Amino acid sequence: MRDRNWGAPEWLIVVGASIFIVVLAVSAYFEADIRWLHFFQAWMYIATIALSLRRNRWGYFIGISAAGFWAYANLFVTTFFVNGLHELTRWMATGHLARPDQLIAVPAWFSNVLVVIGCAWAYSRLPTKSMADGGKVLLTFAVTSGFFALDMALFQPRYLGIFPRLLHPHLP
């Protein structure tokens, strides 16, 4: 690691990605058929942490792409985050947690937002940037999205339906 002094961006990346990895594991505990999907998904966050702590822009691009994809999809395409918020409000109102498998969507969403903010902030602090970085971000987004799609196709094809709705979230 070039610089052992962690700043706020690095902490956001590490904390956000770590929380999300834990959420993936907890989710896999509740739903055994998604264990392999989540196992491979976690590796993008591990790569984000490892590369970002080396101040490597590819780590920032992976984090922005993977976490941004997940946060966007769960805000505009799926009901996962909304269901989690409903479960949180129900739990606060009644004191009874009926669906912890849905509640975990709330820390999952916020942890992904932390990763995006941390990666964008850390990238903004790099001393050198180039116009080619825009192309690298697009390439990284295509590769991480393709990785998500391959992961889903191999282990949970039922989730592939989110991809067409990513471009037009309000279609059935």
Count other C-beta atoms under 10 Å from residue 4's C-beta.
6
Tens digits of residue pLDDT in 50-106 = 999 999 999 999 999 999 999 999 999 999 999 999 999 999 999 999 999 899 999
- Single pTM value for the model: 0.93
Tens digits of residue pLDDT in 123-158 = 999 999 999 999 999 999 999 999 999 999 999 999
Q: Number of C-alpha atoms within 13 angstroms, CB side, residue 27?
A: 23
Place of tokens 């959420």: 23
